[in-house]
């Protein structure tokens, strides 16, 4: 792909500075004075990060082989949706930790010619035999094993219908679904080398995978998981992909494949039926929208909590001069954390499946509601979780996951996040299909106030119900400036997805980093409960000490997220960023 040397990096930095230097609105008495557009100092450890550039199309995903398949589709005349569909099927082969046929997710599609953005909800659903108390033990307490490890944990998968529906509605018409599936089938049948993140992950989940004979047949060599340098062949998955290619998505949801999936789920203690699979439908929804310092944010609506709370937090931050606080400063991280906490408290109270409960979307997105939250933030002291409550938005009313981003030459774009929940889901391959099954039912609330595996608190709004879609944090997002698409982003990371996407945007808009720097920079995360500020390795010890002095319970942990992103620059070039936190990521274009 075309690359420019250091002269282009200067152009890139300059174009971003001009594009993103916007005045701060004087929205809050706590707001600090606005800064002019002088350069914001960037820590030396990320200062040299430069994104790859391309002229015609760009794909950024968590796995290099899938990225290259997407770029090849663009070169063959496919549009961004075609490429995204091909990447989605390919990741089911090359990234079994999260890429999938047996899970679900969300896709945002921007159609440049129509200047329209649509949201495709292919989230998993609860089987129709599901009940509100199905994950409670005899003592009335949540049974975490039931919602994460056995057949009851499996939601009705939506990925195959979701990808096929995106292609049917918004594909270029130049490439058939079979042509887009063919590269994935070939990789599954011929085998892929066990390397990178796949090689790292298999030993970590050997115990979970080894519980199921059908899984051992795929991922084990004798009594051990496949080792680095060996070959993973997925013949049953290749046959499933070929069947879908030949007969369309109905072949996954009815007939022999569906029967084998149901048999596997029920033998593991689950309640799914063939009627549940046959009845699965994709939902098209209206994205949520907000503004931040002159930019328009377009993101995923419920049953994702991501878009609402991303915009809610940005609304709060808009009244603070983050740039004036400085990149990586304790004051900036403190302000981010204090804005995050109330959003997660609101998430626990109000969010659920919008087809079942009324979510106060307009109130949560209102700038006036953000003003009330901002007024409670003490710039010198962290608020303990017990002092943070869900607000009242009504007056303003009238995990393992993977994300990829695609932009084509016409300006069409896709932000897609999909998941099995845990890495490898419940670890069960449905015998004869090669399909790993999800454990998304854990994303429901087992009971009001209970925490799920990611520590997120839920309410009756997210209770288990027949056919319901569990709440998610997945946050595929577009950023626009003056009506022009600027950024395509999103991330895996469970509860940390929202704050990962948030900090990519803040790094671009407030700190005027280039895209690679914005993705590389260390992140923090606070989700209200547990009352802990998670900080990535790489943040200065002095900064961490200052945060502790402000009252934060700081916990330094490993890196999180994989914010694979694409950005369109002023001169029309595309910049890509593949998050270096995960092995084998790649941003590439032509």
421 is in an annotated binding site: yes
Q: Does residue 8 fall inside a structural domain?
A: no
Looking at the structure, tell me whether residues 394 and 478 fall in a common domain.
yes
Report the alpha-carbon distance of residue 94 to residue 188 in Å, rounded. 8
305 is in an annotated binding site: no
Q: Does residue 28 fall inside a structural domain?
A: no
Looking at the structure, tell me whether residues 153 and 173 fall in a common domain.
yes
473 is in an annotated binding site: yes
Q: Does residue 68 fall inside a structural domain?
A: no
Looking at the structure, tell me whether residues 194 and 338 fall in a common domain.
no
Looking at the structure, tell me whether residues 234 and 373 fall in a common domain.
no
| Packing angle of the helix pair 177-190, 64-75 (nearest 10 deg) | 150
Domain count along the chain: 2
The partner residues of 485 in beta bridges, in order of sequence, read 480
Taking the alpha carbons at both ends of the chain, their separation in whole angstroms is 4
For residue 492, what are the domain limits?
A: 45-54+285-400+473-589
User: Which residue from 213, 232, 235 is spatially nearest to 97, judged by alpha carbons?
Assistant: 232
Name the band, by pLDDT with cuts 50, 70 and 90, for residue 452.
low
419 is in an annotated binding site: yes
Report the alpha-carbon distance of residue 421 to residue 423 in Å, rounded. 7
**Dihedral pair phi/psi, residue 79, rounded to 5°:** -95, -175
Tens of pLDDT, residues 381-425: 999 999 998 888 877 654 479 999 999 999 999 999 999 999 999
Looking at the structure, tell me whether residues 137 and 252 fall in a common domain.
yes
Tens of pLDDT, residues 513-532: 999 999 999 999 999 999 99
| Packing angle of the helix pair 80-94, 235-247 (nearest 10 deg) | 150
Looking at the structure, tell me whether residues 278 and 304 fall in a common domain.
no
Looking at the structure, tell me whether residues 226 and 295 fall in a common domain.
no
Report the alpha-carbon distance of residue 555 to residue 237 in Å, rounded. 40
Tens of pLDDT, residues 181-221: 999 999 999 999 999 999 999 999 999 999 999 999 999 99
CB 127 within 8 A of CB 470: no
Q: Does residue 67 fall inside a structural domain?
A: no
Q: Is the pLDDT assigned to residue 365 strictly greater than 90?
A: yes
Structure tokens given for 257: 């494949």
**Dihedral pair phi/psi, residue 207, rounded to 5°:** -65, -40
CB 420 within 8 A of CB 438: yes
Among 417, 434, 462, the domain boundary falls at: 462
Question: What predicted TM-score, i.e. pTM, was given to this entire model?
Answer: 0.92
Name the band, by pLDDT with cuts 50, 70 and 90, for residue 444.
very high
Structure tokens given for 158: 């939506």
Strand locations in 317-466, DSSP E?
400-407, 413-421, 429-430, 435-436
Q: Does residue 69 fall inside a structural domain?
A: no
494 is in an annotated binding site: yes
Q: Tell me the DSSP string of 190-240.
A: H-EE--HHHHHHHHHTHHHHTT-HHHHHHHEETTEEPPTTSEE--HHHHHH
442 is in an annotated binding site: no
Looking at the structure, tell me whether residues 330 and 252 fall in a common domain.
no
Looking at the structure, tell me whether residues 266 and 390 fall in a common domain.
no
Q: Over range 60-88, report the average pLDDT.
A: 98
Report the alpha-carbon distance of residue 274 to residue 490 in Å, rounded. 33
Residues belonging to the active site: 401
The C-alpha R_g of the chain, in whole angstroms, comes to 23
């Amino acid at each position: 792909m075309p690359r420019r040397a250091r002269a282009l990096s200067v152009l890139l930095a300059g174009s971003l500075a001009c594009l993103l230097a916007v005045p701060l609105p004087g929205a809050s008495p706590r707001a600090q004075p606005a800064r002019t557009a002088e350069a914001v100092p960037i820590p030396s450890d990320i200062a040299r990060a430069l994104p790859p550039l391309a002229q015609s199309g760009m794909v950024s995903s968590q796995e290099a082989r899938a990225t290259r398949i997407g770029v090849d589709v663009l070169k063959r005349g496919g549009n961004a949706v075609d490429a995204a569909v091909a990447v989605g099927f390919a990741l089911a082969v090359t990234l079994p930790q999260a890429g999938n046929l047996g899970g679900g997710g969300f896709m945002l599609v921007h159609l440049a010619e129509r200047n329209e953005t649509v949201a495709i909800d292919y989230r998993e659903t609860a089987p129709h035999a599901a009940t509100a108390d199905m994950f409670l033990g005899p003592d009335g307490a949540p049974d975490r094993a039931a919602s994460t490890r056995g057949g009851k944990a499996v939601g009705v998968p939506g990925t195959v219908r979701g990808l096929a529906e995106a292609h049917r509605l918004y594909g270029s018409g130049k490439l058939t679904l079979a042509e887009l599936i063919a590269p994935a089938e070939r990789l599954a049948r011929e085998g892929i080398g066990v390397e990178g993140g796949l090689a790292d992950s298999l030993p970590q989940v050997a115990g979970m995978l080894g519980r199921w004979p059908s899984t051992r047949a795929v991922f084990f060599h004798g009594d051990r998981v496949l080792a680095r340098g060996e070959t993973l062949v997925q013949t049953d998955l290749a046959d499933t992909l070929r069947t879908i290619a030949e007969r369309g998505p109905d072949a996954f949801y009815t007939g022999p494949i569906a029967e084998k999936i149901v048999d596997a789920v029920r033998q593991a203690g689950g309640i799914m039926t063939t009627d549940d699979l046959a009845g699965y439908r994709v939902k098209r929804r209206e994205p949520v929208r907000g503004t931040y310092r002159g930019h328009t944010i377009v993101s995923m609506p419920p049953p994702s909590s991501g878009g609402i709370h991303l915009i809610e937090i940005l609304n709060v931050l808009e009244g603070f001069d983050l740039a004036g606080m400085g990149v990586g400063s304790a004051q900036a991280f403190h302000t981010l954390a204090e804005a995050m906490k109330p959003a997660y408290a609101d998430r626990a109270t109000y969010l659920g499946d919008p087809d079942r409960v009324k979510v106060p979307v307009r109130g949560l997105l209102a700038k006036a509601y953000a003003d009330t939250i901002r007024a409670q933030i003490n710039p010198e002291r962290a608020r303990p979780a017990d002092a943070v409550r869900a607000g009242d938005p009504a007056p303003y009313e009238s995990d393992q996951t993977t994300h990829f981003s695609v932009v084509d030459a016409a300006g069409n774009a896709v932000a897609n996040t999909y998941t099995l929940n845990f890495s490898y889901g419940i670890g069960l391959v449905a015998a004869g299909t090669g399909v790993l099954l999800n454990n998304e039912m854990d994303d429901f609330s087992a009971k009001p106030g209970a925490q799920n595996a990611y520590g997120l608190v839920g309410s009756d709004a997210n209770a288990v119900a027949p056919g319901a879609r569990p709440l998610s944090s997945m946050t595929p997002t577009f950023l626009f400036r003056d009506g022009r698409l600027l950024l395509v982003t999103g991330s895996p990371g469970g509860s940390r997805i929202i704050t990962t996407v948030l900090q990519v945007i803040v790094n671009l808009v407030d700190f005027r980093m280039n895209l690679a720097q914005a993705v590389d920079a260390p992140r923090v995360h606070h989700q209200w409960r547990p009352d802990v500020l998670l900080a990535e390795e790489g943040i200065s010890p002095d900064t961490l000490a200052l945060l502790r002095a402000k009252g934060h319970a700081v916990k330094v942990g490993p890196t999180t997220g994989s914010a694979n992103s694409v950005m369109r620059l002023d001169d029309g070039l595309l910049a890509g960023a593949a998050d270096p936190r995960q092995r084998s990521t790649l941003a590439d274009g032509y």
